[in-house]
Chain A
């Protein structure tokens, strides 16, 4: 493509509102032959921008919708079985897929929902990105035409059914992040799309933008919600013979346009309808210059007025969302002086020679020679009174634990397996094997050999015991277990992380994205003492696992398994299909209790004396 000129952007502006900066970067990246990944929430104009830019620059685009069914053969193309049976492997029997078409034409290959594409399909792209050509068995080398580019779009905040894009791919692409446009730009988009009058458009955009900031809403609506709202409101008011849409009409339109687009926080006891009605009323009141009525807070225990009421009979409670945050913050109040740290950790003064200092190199070196001392020191530094040291230690801790947590992946054999089946006629036809079975004659249905990737979905709940006196060593084990578990998340595996003493604190909910750094940071705050309520955490785990109805439900318990509160843990196992136990204690009684508990759900008991053995232990449990 030509190097972009001002003329190009003028043409762009006729179709696209705002996004000038992103358009410039995208245009230049295309002109200089770069591959690009566009990241941003839905409805921010990723596709429109690319389509418009390609059209203005006269580039051809091949569009592909990324999903779990996009197999390598569907992306690249495949031989037509019927034609091959008649004519053998001739090039004309090959039905090109979108990748092949883009390579041959030298066009842009645009893959939407990039992070939903299975890993084995993405691996096909690595060769193309690296070499500019691909070898197709029985067809030969295909060289990419001059204009070939990969443009990928994805919503990185979507945690359901997505996978991480591997470093090999990420390393070969530029990234352009697109956020929601500002208020004025969104109004312009809605005006262009609907021709609605100014007041209605402003109201719809304001309401839509409010959904992104409301405390009870996890995922707000994109500008598409505002467009629908305007169109439905206009139509309804015409139908009802109103001069302008009244409150009832606006509310009907808002519910139709937004109630399905917003995702509420778990534990929010209000309905989307109630929240939207409330927001609309506040908007209308503000327009009429009335003082804004306070939104009623969602019904929650213990907001702001001391501790929540204790549960009956010491059953313990499951805390999520804001309650968990508050409990973590309360636990983080207790900090450690330099004197305290130096008396516990012989290496303290080497790692932090003065207030505010953290010698990362020294600490990383210590990780090589004495990982247990290093990790337990790091966990205690994360609770230093000194704010600068504490902040740096916490940042470093998240990095180090995630890096070490990956160690288990070397043993990962891939949970998805390619299975070859005969006579099932599911998945992709394995032409070669089928022809081998029936050389030179018609194939019967029972002889058809097919291949498919089989992977059962799995939900894992990691349960971390922080009762007793948690300090460096025990915290390091917990943080390591969390890091290794979070790294296991992919298209097929999701996990929740629950820390527990008397109550169960859900740090990461099943099916809800939260950065691994944030979860590890939470764990490093939990150094409280308390009783061990195994029954409460097992019930909490079952509740979290129930959110993944079709998955295998696995719980991994990191605890000495000696319950000191709550009822009998054996009565709380409903809804957990498999239970593994990681035992940090060498006490024979604790080991026996752990083994007993694991045996109830055909799980394994693994002794974990140090944090360093955790990743490997988990890898064997998850991927064996």
Chain B
């Protein structure tokens, strides 16, 4: 069939809205009609070369939609199911899936390749195979994806809200709750309030943090952070350090979480410095893989017994956590509606990413027209 998608042809090129050819689903694959797609910074990282995929690629890895058809051997979903996509598939039986670390599933190895698990492609245009970001390509109106990326949700939750729990919400919330292991009474500093950071704020507040200090140079982000659970919000790492030290009588923060758009040495250093002896710093944000962004004093790390942790997907298990977060939303404990700053048509995707880069959006969402 034919469908419309936002394609990156090469690094540095704008998003191109193209008519593309889409193959039938094969073994273990499904045809999905996307209802909504989140504008996450990672797709924009592809465009700027901070993450290096195989080009050309259909963008989008935060998506929610309805299953239209299933290929042979599909058992996890059926046509008509409402689905939130996990940006990392989980096969369910590799070493990681079977030990409660679905976010590390071996199938995640090729998500920047953008091919299906069998190594072939379902999108084609201008005589070329197109990859699909994270095997999803949610910036397409229709896509063929692995059943292993599908998390079936209750149909009474609006998909245009549920879309957020495919990537940004679990990554941020899990960074605080699972990766940083925020405990009641903790003082937590969160650097960078975007689609990830704002959910780290919610997660820290849920986990019972006594102080949640949000750091962002932009006033609109700081305001949003306070709305969603931050007890303090400041513009610079320096101010955050002062407040954290004052609040803890000079001991330092228990946890620091780095969720900035592009990680650099300065923010890592600031986060490392703000935590107490035995404290934990979590690194969630991304940067160019070739760049060495973590340069820290090993002696300080040893003598103060500080812990530095990376986290992918906020240490979440997508099959369980995506549904759990939606239940928290249902009960009014997790805020999702407030995260969406603006909705765009697919054709407005470049505008959407401009707004993201300009710091206007906590989260922009594409609502697909069908």
A338 touches B156 (CB 8 A): yes
Interface residues of B in 216-273 (CB under 8 A from A): 223, 226-227, 231
In the complex, the answer to whether A387 meets B226 with C-beta atoms within 8 Å is no
Q: Which chain B residues (309-368) contact chain A, with CB distance < 8 Å? A: 330-333, 335
| Interface locus among A79-87, A109-117, A329-337, A574-582 | A329-337
Inter-subunit contact A337/B226 (CB<8 Å):
no
- Are A338 and B332 touching (Cβ within 8 A)? no
Per-residue B-contact encoding for A509-529, CB less than 8 Å = 1, 0 else: 000000000000000000000
Cα-based distance from A338 to B154 in the complex (angstroms):
9
Interface residues of A in 16-70 (CB under 8 A from B): none
A339 / chain B contacts, CB cutoff of 8 Å: 154
Interfacial chain B residues near A355, Cβ < 8 Å: 155-156
Q: Is B300's beta carbon under 8 Å from chain A?
A: no
Asked if A337 and B330 sit within 8 Å, CB to CB, the answer is: yes
Contact with B along A334-363 (1 / 0, CB 8 A): 111111000000000000000100000000
Taking CB atoms, residues of chain A closer than 8 Å to B333 are 333
The answer, yes or no, to whether B158 is at the interface (CB within 8 Å) is: yes
Q: Mark A389-403, 1 if CB is under 8 A from B, else 0.
A: 100000000000000
Q: Does B52 count as interface, using CB distance less than 8 angstroms? A: no
Q: Give Cα distance in the complex from A339 to B331, angstroms.
A: 13
Q: Which of A305-347 contact B (CB under 8 A)?
A: 305-306, 330, 332-339
Min distance, Cβ A286 to any Cβ of chain B, angstroms:
22
| B157 contacts the other chain (CB 8 A) | yes
Contact between B227 and A385, CB atoms less than 8 A apart: no
Q: Which B residues lie within 8 Å of A338 (CB)?
A: 154, 156
| CB neighbours of B231 from chain A (8 A) | 306
User: Is B226 a contact partner of A335 (Cβ separation < 8 A)?
Assistant: no
Q: Which of A304, A305, A306, A335 sits near B332, CB closer than 8 Å?
A: A335
Expressed in whole angstroms, the minimum distance between the Cβ of A46 and any Cβ of chain B is: 41
Which of A304, A305, A306, A386 contacts B156, CB < 8 Å?
A: A386
CB B223 to nearest CB in A, in angstroms, measures: 8
User: With A355-B156, A386-B156, A387-B158 given, is the CB distance from A305 to B330 under 8 Å?
Assistant: no
Question: B147-163 interface mask toward A, CB cutoff 8 Å, 1 = contact, 0 = none?
Answer: 00000001111100000
Q: Does A384 contact B (CB under 8 A)?
A: yes
Give Cα A336–Cα B157 distance, bound, in whole angstroms.
Answer: 11
- Among B223, B227, B330, B335, residue most surrounded by chain A Cβ atoms (within 10 Å): B330
Task: Find out whether the CB atom of B332 lies under 8 angstroms from the CB atom of A333.
Answer: yes
Q: What is the CB-to-nearest-CB distance from B276 to chain A, in angstroms, rounded to a whole number?
A: 25
Contact indicator B226/A385 (Cβ below 8 Å): no
Report A-chain residues with C-beta under 8 Å of the C-beta of B331. 333-335
With A334-B331, A335-B331, A337-B330 already in contact, the answer to whether A389 and B227 are too (CB < 8 A) is no
Query: A304-B226, A304-B227, A305-B226 are contacts. A385–B332 as well, Cβ < 8 Å?
Result: no
The reply to whether B155 and A385 form a contact with Cβ atoms under 8 Å apart is no
Question: In the complex, what distance in Å separates the CA atom of A355 from the CA atom of B81?
Answer: 12
Chain B residue nearest to A339 (CB atoms) is B154
CB nearest to B226 among chain A residues: A305
The reply to whether A384 and B156 contact each other, CB–CB distance below 8 Å, is: yes
User: In the complex, what residues of B have CB within 8 A of residue A385's CB?
Assistant: 154, 156-157, 330
Residues in A neighbouring B227, C-beta threshold 8 A: 304
Chain A residue at minimum C-beta to C-beta distance from B158? A387
Q: How many residues of B contact A (CB 8 A)?
A: 14
Return the CB mask of A373-394 against B: 1 if under 8 Å, else 0: 0000000000011110100000
Residues of A near B154 (CB, < 8 A) are 337-339, 385
Give CA–CA (A387, B162) in the complex, Å: 13
Closest residue on chain B to residue A341 by CB atoms: B156
Q: Are B332 and A337 in contact (CB under 8 A)?
A: no
Minimum CB distance partner of A333 in chain B: B332
> A335 with B158: in contact, given A304-B226, A304-B227 (CB under 8 Å)?
no
Chain B: minimal CB distance from A289 (Å): 24
B156 near A389 (CB under 8 angstroms)? yes
Please report the C-alpha to C-alpha distance between residue A222 and residue B157 in the assembled complex, in whole angstroms. 45
How far is the CB of A623 from the nearest CB of chain B, in Å? Answer: 40
CA gap between A339 and B155 in the complex, in Å = 11
Which A residues lie within 8 Å of B330 (CB)? 335-337, 385
Q: How far is the CA of A335 from the CA of B335 in the complex (A)?
A: 13
Residue picked from A306, A330, A355, A385, most chain B C-beta under 10 Å? A385
A372–B118 alpha-carbon span in the complex (Å): 58
B320 to nearest A CB, angstroms? Answer: 17
| B231: nearest chain-A partner, CB-CB | A306
Q: Which residues of B contact A386 (CB under 8 A)?
A: 156-157
With a cutoff of 8 Å between Cβ atoms, the chain A residues found around residue B223 in the complex are 304
A9 to B330, CA, bound (A): 57
Across-interface contacts of A335 in B (CB, < 8 A): 330-332
The answer for the CA separation of A337 and B223 in the assembled complex, in Å, is 31
**Residues in chain A near residue B155, CB distance under 8 A:** 355
How far, in angstroms, from A387 to B156 measured CA to CA in the complex? Answer: 8
**Least Cβ–Cβ distance between B337 and chain A, in angstroms:** 9
CA distance A487 to B332 in the complex (A): 33
Q: Report the bound CA distance from A389 to B330 in whole Å.
A: 14
A363–chain B nearest beta-carbon distance, Å: 18
Bound Cα distance from A333 to B333, whole angstroms: 8
Chain B residues with Cβ under 8 A from A389's Cβ? 156
Q: With the chains together, A438 CA to B251 CA distance in Å? A: 101
Complex contacts, B332 vs chain A, CB 8 Å: 330, 332-335
Which residues does chain B contribute within 8 Å of A384, judged by CB atoms? 156
Per the bound structure, the CA–CA distance linking A387 and B157 in Å amounts to: 8
Q: Which of A330, A333, A386 has the most CB of B within 10 A?
A: A333
Whole-angstrom distance between the Cβ of A307 and the nearest chain B Cβ: 12
Task: Report how far A330 CA is from B223 CA in the complex, Å.
Answer: 18
Interface residues in B12-43 by Cβ distance below 8 A to A read: none
**For residues 274 through 318 of chain A, which have their beta carbon under 8 Å from a beta carbon of chain B?**
304-306
Q: Which residue of B lies closest to A336 (CB)?
A: B330
A384 (CB) vs chain B CBs: closest residue: B156
B56-68 to A contact mask, C-beta < 8 Å, 1/0: 0000000000000
Nearest Cβ on chain B to A535's Cβ, whole angstroms: 29
**Shortest Cβ distance from A564 into chain B, in angstroms?**
23
Of chain A, the residue at the smallest CB distance from B157 is: A385
Within the assembled complex, what's the spacing in Å between the Cα atoms of A385 and B333? Answer: 13
| Cβ–Cβ < 8 Å partners of A304 in chain B | 223, 226-227
Closest chain B residue to A331 by CB distance? B332
- Within residues 82 to 120 of chain A, which ones have a CB less than 8 A from any CB in chain B? none
Bound form: Cα–Cα A337–B327 in Å: 9
In A126-185, which residues have CB < 8 Å from any B CB?
none
Q: How far is the CA of A278 from the CA of B332 in the complex (A)?
A: 38
Give Cα A335 to B331, complex, Å.
5
Distance from A346 Cβ to chain B, minimum over Cβ atoms (Å): 19
> In the complex, A67 Cα to B286 Cα: how many Å?
72
Chain A residues whose CB sits within 8 angstroms of the CB of B156 once the complex forms:
337-338, 355, 384-386, 389
Other than A306-B231, A355-B155, give 13 A-B pairs with Cβ distance below 8 A: A304-B226, A305-B226, A330-B332, A332-B332, A333-B332, A333-B333, A335-B331, A336-B330, A337-B156, A355-B156, A385-B157, A385-B330, A387-B158
Q: Which residues of B contact A (CB under 8 A)?
A: 154-158, 223, 226-227, 231, 330-333, 335
Residues of A within 8 A of B (CB): 304-306, 330, 332-339, 355, 384-387, 389
5 tightest CB-CB pairs across the interface, nearest first?
A: A333-B332, A386-B156, A334-B332, A355-B155, A385-B156
Could you jot down 30 A-B contacts, CB within 8 Å? Answer: A304-B223, A304-B226, A304-B227, A305-B226, A330-B332, A332-B332, A333-B331, A333-B332, A333-B333, A333-B335, A334-B331, A334-B332, A335-B330, A335-B331, A335-B332, A337-B154, A337-B156, A338-B154, A338-B156, A339-B154, A355-B155, A355-B156, A384-B156, A385-B154, A385-B156, A385-B157, A385-B330, A386-B157, A387-B158, A389-B156
